[in-house]
């Protein structure tokens, strides 16, 4: 077993004498809503194909050896594991294997997730709202290419009416604490704006290193508010310390004895400019008003530009 969720457990299985490795999600049918979650995920994944979405190999709806209902989904196994284990490797008192993501790797993941959302929101024959975007539902392959998974509470909307066509969805369950859009708490219908809010919180978590459920966030003070307060001139004080230590090591390796001062200054400016821009996007996506949030296609464009600038690629397209 490699993980547990709200409606079942995830297993790693080796088939064909070690030639094939798969991940199998076995639903706990006794758990209320599990059967509905199985159908929702099947409906959502049946007709969508994208490099940044998990690939379902097959499904199983049958009877087990005790004549109980048995439902499972089989996916490609992703050796990189979940993004959550990369962002928070040492929590719960367990020393996980050393995993660290540098700025470029985090930018690549952020772009992949935004691209997946843009596909679901604007390029499917039916609009799909994920409804549960968080690090544990983002899976990485061996090359750290990102795959968005767990569509168990997703909603399928008609593009014409913008109304839910998925009557098997779990009423009232629209995400995970800390990532749920505030309008959902007031009874608003699911929408692309809700996914964008979750994405904004995810982006802030990726570059700041704190969960939105951290004990410092309470009442009306949340990750968005905290980051917005320091956005103007103190962003570097809240950035994930492990990220800054990695960048410092890279700076030391890149500098030369002939121009060490100028190189360090240039790199520090580039890092700060990059982090400011990314966190600004996270804040813009997680605003309280749904209508003030960015569109996913704009997020993808801006993140590509930020990455290009950080890498020193001078492109003038779209400026």
Query: Any idea where the domains of the chain sit in the sequence?
Result: 78-310
pLDDT (tens digit, 0 to 9) for every residue of the chain, 319 residues total?
988 888 889 999 998 888 889 999 999 998 888 999 999 889 888 878 899 999 889 999 999 888 889 999 999 999 999 999 999 887 654 455 567 899 999 999 999 999 999 999 999 888 999 999 999 999 999 999 999 999 988 998 865 544 544 433 444 546 789 999 999 988 899 999 999 999 999 999 999 999 999 888 888 888 999 999 888 778 888 898 888 776 666 555 555 444 555 555 667 778 888 999 999 999 999 999 999 999 999 999 999 999 999 998 644 444 3
Residues 41, 53: contact at Cβ < 8 Å? no
For domain 78-310, give the CATH number: 1.10.510.10
Mapping DSSP to helix (H, G, I), strand (E, B) and coil, where does residue 232 land?
Answer: coil
Residue carrying structure tokens 């048995």: 70
CA 254/CA 260 separation, integer angstroms: 9
Task: Tell me which residues are annotated as active site.
Answer: 132
CA 120/CA 126 separation, integer angstroms: 8
pTM: predicted TM-score of the whole model, two decimal places: 0.87
| Residue 173 parent element (H or E) | none
**Among residues 286, 176, 186, which one has the least CA distance to residue 231?**
286
Provide CB contacts within 8 A for 139, sequence distance 6+. Answer: 54, 78, 80, 81, 82, 83, 146, 147, 148, 149
Angle ∠(299,301,305) on CA atoms, nearest 5 = 115
Output the six-digit token pair for 108.
């690549």
């Amino acid at each position: 077993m490699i993980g547990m969720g709200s409606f079942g457990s995830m297993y790693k299985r080796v088939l064909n004498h070690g030639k094939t490795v798969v991940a199998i999600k076995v639903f706990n049918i006794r758990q209320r809503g599990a059967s509905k979650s199985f159908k929702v995920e099947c409906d959502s994944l049946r007709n969508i194909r994208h490099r940044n979405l998990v690939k379902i190999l097959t499904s199983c709806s049958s009877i087990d050896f005790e004549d109980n209902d048995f439902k499972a989904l089989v996916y490609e196994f992703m050796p990189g594991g979940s993004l959550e284990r990369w962002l928070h490797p040492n929590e719960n008192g367990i020393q996980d294997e050393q995993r660290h993501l540098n700025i470029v790797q985090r930018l690549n993941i952020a772009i992949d997730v935004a691209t997946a959302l843009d596909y679901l929101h604007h390029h499917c024959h039916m609009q799909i709202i994920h409804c549960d975007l968080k690090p544990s539902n983002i899976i990485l392959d061996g090359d750290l290419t990102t795959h968005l998974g767990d569509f168990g509470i997703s909603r399928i909307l008609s593009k014409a009416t913008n109304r839910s066509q998925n009557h098997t969805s779990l009423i009232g369950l629209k995400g995970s604490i800390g990532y749920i859009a505030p309008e959902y708490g007031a009874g608003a219908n699911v929408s692309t704006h809700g996914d964008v809010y979750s994405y904004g919180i995810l982006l802030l978590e990726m570059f700041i290193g704190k969960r939105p459920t951290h004990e410092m966030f309470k009442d009306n003070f949340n990750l968005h508010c905290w980051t917005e307060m320091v956005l103007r001139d103190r962003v570097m004080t809240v950035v994930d310390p492990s990220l800054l230590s990695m960048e410092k090591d890279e700076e030391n390796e890149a500098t030369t004895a002939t121009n060490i001062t100028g190189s360090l200054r240039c790199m520090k400016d580039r890092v700060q400019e990059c982090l400011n821009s990314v966190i600004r996007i996270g804040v813009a996506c997680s605003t309280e008003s749904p209508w003030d949030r960015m569109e996913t296609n704009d997020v993808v464009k801006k993140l590509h530009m930020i990455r290009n600038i950080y890498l020193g690629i001078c492109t003038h397209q779209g400026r």
